[in-house]
Every structure is written in C-alpha cells, then in structure tokens.
Structure 1
C-alpha cells in the first residue's frame, strides 16, 4: 500500500538550549572525566583522526592536558617518513589546485613500517596511544598496531554499520576484531540508534556519532546524507542507555564533528555524549601540524571528493583553546572551563549527571537580545 514519506524534525547545536538547574554546583568541584574501558581521561575531549590535527607530538600535548588524540594511520603519517615538507606544500598550494594536490599526495602507498613507528613515537611521549584505520585496512593493520603497543583502536568511516553488503567473500566482523586485537575498539560513524545497539552487541568499547557535520567535510552536500548532531546524539545515547539496562555494560557515546564553541560541547554532553571529538578547533592550535589549514579525510578520494581544504588560521596554543585563559568572547577558547561552568549551572557534578539536564528547542537562543552584537558593535 502506497504511503506518503513523513519527515522527522531534527536539531543541531544552534536549535537548542540547556535549561538552568534547580541546584547549582561550584564549577571547581565538577568531575569532567570519562572512561574507555581501563583508560580514564581527565577531560572528555578527543582529537579527530585528521592529518591536519594530529601527529605524534600533538598527541603527547593533548595527553598532558588530560584528553586523547587519535592518529590517522591511513594518512600522511604512514605514507611519508618526513611529513614536514608535505604539510608545507599543502598549505602553500593555491585554493583552486588544493583538491588535486591532495589527491596526488595521498596516492602514495602506505608503509607498514611507518605504522609501527608512529605508534612507537606516541608511546615514547608517554601518551595513551589511540590510532584510527578505515575498515578496508583493519584486518591487515590490526596485528601491526597491536604489536607496536597501541592502546586504543578506532575503526572509522563516513557511515559504519554491522550489516554491510559487499561483493567481497567476507567483510570485517567487529566481534572477531574485538576478540583478536585485545584493545578497546571504538567504531563510527553512525547516527542511528539501531546501528548503535548492533555495534554495541559486537563488543565495541565506544561509538562515534556524526555524519557530515565537520567544518572540512562536504558529505552532506555531496551525498545529501546526515542527521543534525543534537538529535543524533540523543538517539544514540538512548540506545546506549537501553543497552546498559539490558546488559549492565556501559558503552560511551562520542559526539564527533560540528563542534566549534564551548556551548556546542555543553549541548553535546547534555544530549547524552560521554565525550566529544573535535577537529577544526584543534587544527587552529599552534601544536597542530596543518599550519593553519584543515581538510576532510575524504577530500583526497580519487573519484568523489567529500571534503575540502579550509584555511582556519592559527589562533592559540592547545592549552589556551582547552583551558584558557580566553582572550575571545565567542566561546572558541577555554572549552573545558565552559563545560565546568555549564555543569555547575545545571547542578551536574559529573558527566553522567549532565546527561539529565533539561534541554529545549530554542531557535532564537543565539539571536534573542543580541542586536548590537549582530550589528558588529560588540568588542
């Protein structure tokens, strides 16, 4: 029987607000930590597995500040022994030639010995070593990653499902990967509560949420696919909570992409995220290898690029972006401080209590009463 397709409402960061709580907490007393299996981090911030964001030295600095960075093992770090010149060339390439140049530099083959070397470099800094691979390379690289001493494995693609129809004889089975690699395995990306549940049933240790919201990603424009981040986080967090009620195993949700300000971080956590994964704001740090640029990891795709190189500038140190002091009023610095104060205002002493904060649809939240700011009269 024919039916009219019904469209659901979905909401992003600018569409919602967090309501203040009936009890307040001193921000200095809140606990922002989150846990991935046996690994505990002081702040719920992960750096995206993007070549312009994370290299081994950046991973060491974010670890010092209490978070964790994910190194992309399918990118420049495993294609070139010395990446300094490559980054410089990417930054200096004219805008109209950038995508073609990225396709060229990413056409170089990966080197397995560099996979092990990058893991060892992160370990040498004392940081928790988290690395990312695409599903197609996971079976081949997982033994190398484990042998080199990596501690967290992220398997990431634009859209990840348990059930993947392919012409190959046997695809990647997440339950087998979890058992064989012996490391916490994070999987993404998804926006579906059903897929979230199915992935959790495979034994994974965390779920990355978000399809196409990143500043350097054009998947939504190219493919028309995506769900706004607040709705995606709420839906997947609901699946997490149901799974926990049924099994007693808690699997963290990480909101990945589209986060620019402290307010976006707070809304992600209030929507149910246990942590956030950030790309472009970290690409603006002095420690990032991208020299003031960022690009999506699907930008170099040989036939259908789904990203772009963007000039984001170098704004501040990573420590200032995360912990201040902030010299800006737009919410892009001191992200941890913003989260602590927001938690205090809703009466949440830890991240899980922040999940209980009341949220409301509020499309005027950023414009109400702000006429002078929008007229360019703020300073």
Structure 2
C-alpha cells in the first residue's frame, strides 16, 4: 500500500484564469478542430464532442442531430445488426462510432455489419480498461480493421493510455467514476479526479501522437471548456445530453391545461440495475450494480443545449485569447479555488 500526496483535481476544484487578448467578439473564434488518427493517418474535422454510448443518449437520432454541429455520437451497443447496417449506409453516418465490448458475440456482430456497411469508427468500451484481455482485444481489432479509427477505454492513468495506443487505439477514453449516474466510486472505492486524469492521460497520449477523450464529469458548459484546456482532444457527454427529443428514455407526462405534457425522461447508467435487467436479465450473482436510475427534466430538441455548450466554449476561448480550439491548452492556466458559484438564489 502507498499514498500519493500530490493534489489530484476535478472540474469543480479549478477555474480558468482570464488573459489579455486582442479578440473583440466570441464570433471570432473557431471551435472546430482537425485531428489526425495515428494508426490510420486519416484526418477528422469538426467540433470534438461525442455523445456517450449509453442507450438513452447514444442514439441514431442524436447522431443525425449532432452532425449539423460537426459533433459525433458513440452509438449504444444494443441496436440490432439490420438497424446498424441501414444506419451506416446513410450519408453522414461516419460521424458515429460503432460501440462494442470484448465478447465474441460483440465482434461477430461487428463483422456482420461491417461486411454490409463498412465501419469507419469503432468504440471499444469496457468499464475497466486495465485488463490484459482488453489490451489484446484492441490489438486484434486493429489487425482486423486497419482502416478504422479506434477509440478504447476507460482508463485514467498515463501508463495504460500508452499501452492502449501502442496496442492500436487512436483515441483513449479517459474516466472512471465521474459520470452523473455512475456509482463505481461508491461501490468499489476506485477512481481518479477527472481533470487530473485528462491532464495526465493527454500528456502520455500526445507523446505517441495519440488522442484522448474525456468521458464524464461535465455538469455545465464551463466544465467542457476546462476539459479542452486540460488537453482533451475530444469530450464525451452523457447526462448533459439526456432528456432531449433525440434520446430513447421513457418519458413521463403530466396533465396541464387538459393536455398531456412531457416533463421528465428516464436516464440511467449502463451498469445500473435498470440496464442489466433490460439487457442481461438482471444483475449477475458475481457483481453489484454500479449505476443509478434517475429522472431528468424533459428539454425538447438537443439544438438548444448544443448552442449553450458551443457558446460556452467560444466565450471561454475569448476570455483567454484562443483563436482556435487547439490553442486552449497552451492558453489555459488553472487556478485552484475553494468555491466557484454564488448560489444564494440557487445553483
């Protein structure tokens, strides 16, 4: 047993210090990036945000909506082969990642879909990216799909970030326990503050020309800006995109003025009782639930939320003089704080 004494920070622990700038307006900044996938040599250009591969959020409808903003979606794992084949034949579907785990059934389904509709982006997603089996799966997937961009995770340390990139991942997904409906830290005591995880994993990845995606912990648009400032090439959102028309959660209605009005939508973690009952017949006897089920307010189309997210990032860039999004890490200075918000009239 050992104890590390140097501080590890979360989004709530810091603010970004403003800097003198020649920028006169938020309209002068560019929130898009061009990123190169190391193992394929192919470039991607867009707003580097990815909707999480949770079955409520990682939907085909969400992919179509986010395409208008240059953002991407990691589709959830539970679509059938025929649905996926039809979707990946659509124009613009290349902004979606095909998500799967490590089982043979997962990879057999991918092979079937790929044979009918070639897959350009693959997300290898497990809760614990520290196993040798997972590293071997990344290697095998890279060998089988040499032209696909592969995102793999989740991990929170530089050593495993390097291992996954060397195994064939173009993007490493960073985050253990920061999600709004994840209870891994509560149930296992395992995790890592998300801001420090992004900083350390980005440093390791960029030395190998790899990329990182910060997955989880974003509660307000300012956290998204902090993630990019910390070195994240992509940021992945779950709860921030829940509750919209493009989601697939159950909707609760209330009667108002004689009409049934949507007021809330179900949102749950993919290791929750709800998810495991839906897809696995219940929680296996050798494990415990590591997610929760909640209701989030119904928020209509995702368009308004995307405007807030992108607008917040633009404003942050203006405060620090970053004309292009890729400049944010060089222009960002974090200051540690005891509190961030004045909540006298609520949070």
Please classify the TM superposition score into its range, dividing by the shorter chain length: 0.7 to 0.9
SS of equivalent residue, structure 2 residue 8? coil
Q: Could you tell me which residue of structure 1 aligns to residue 139 of structure 2?
A: 175
Q: Which moved more, 1:128-137 or 1:268-277?
A: 128-137
State the alpha-carbon separation in 2 of the partners of residues 256 and 54 from structure 1. Answer: 13
> C-alpha displacement at 1:347, in angstroms?
1.2
8 Å CA contact retained: 2:57, 2:248: yes
How many angstroms does 1:69 deviate by?
0.8
Once the two structures are TM-superposed, the CA of residue 115 in structure 1 deviates from its matched residue by: 2.3
3-state SS of paired residue (2:93): coil
Distance 2:26 2:50 in 1: 21
Which ranges of structure 1 fall in alignment gaps of 5 or more residues? 78-113, 166-170, 244-249, 324-333
1:50 is paired with a residue whose SS is coil
> Is contact 1:24–1:346 with CA below 8 Å preserved after alignment?
no
Aligned counterpart for 2:157 among listed residues 181, 192, 196: 192
Q: 1:164 to 1:130 in 2, by over 3 A?
A: closer
Look up the match of 1:247: none
On the 8 A contact 1:133/1:154 being kept in 2, the answer is yes
Question: Superposition pairs for residues 170-249 of structure 1, below 5 Å?
Answer: 172-182=136-146, 183-243=148-208
In 2, are the aligned partners of 1:119 and 1:150 still within 8 Å (CA)? no
CA change 1:24–1:216 in 2 (3 A) is farther
Of residues 127, 138, 141, the one that matches 2:93 is 127
Mapped pair 1:136 → 2:103: yes
User: Which residue is equivalent to 2:304?
Assistant: 320
1:343 to 2:317 alignment? yes
* Alpha-carbon RMSD: 2.2
Aligned to 2:81: 115
Q: Is the 8 A contact 2:15 2:340 kept in 1?
A: no
Structure 2: runs of 5 or more not aligned: 252-264, 277-282
Distance 1:261 1:297, change over 3 A: same
Counterpart in the other structure of 2:256: none
1:97 match:
none
1:72 to 54, 76, 91: 76
The match for 1:51 is 55
Give the secondary-structure state (helix, strand or coil) at the position aligned to 1:322.
helix
CA contact (8 A) 1:284 1:315 kept: yes
Quickly say closer, same or farther: Cα 1:375–1:206, change in 2 above 3 A: same
Correspondence for 1:11: 9
Going from structure 1 to structure 2, the CA distance change for 1:306 and 1:377 (only over 3 Å counts) comes to closer
Considering fraction of residues, name the structure with more strand.
2
CA contact (8 A) 2:136 2:167 kept: no
Q: Secondary structure at the match of 2:241?
A: helix
Q: Which residue of 2 aligns with 1:91?
A: none
Q: Does 1:363 align with 2:337?
A: yes
The answer for the alignment partner of 2:27 in structure 1 is 28
**Per-residue Cα deviation, 1:332-368 (whole angstroms, up to 9, x for no partner):** xx1101101111211112222101133334233414x
Displacement after TM superposition at 1:282 (Å): 0.8
Aligned residues, how many? 312
Deviation at 1:27, TM superposition (A): 2.5
Question: 1:296 aligned to 2:273?
Answer: no
Post-superposition Cα deviations, 1:55-83, rounded to whole Å, max 9, x if no partner, equal 2222111112211111112x3x3xxxxxx
Deviation at 1:126, TM superposition (A): 3.2
Any conservation in 1 of the 2:53–2:74 contact (CA below 8 Å)?
Answer: yes
Cα distance in structure 1, aligned partners of 2:271 and 2:155: 16
Tell me what 2:280 maps to. none
Task: Normalising by structure 2, report the TM-score.
Answer: 0.83
Say if 1:4 and 1:62 are closer, same or farther in 2 by CA, change over 3 A: closer
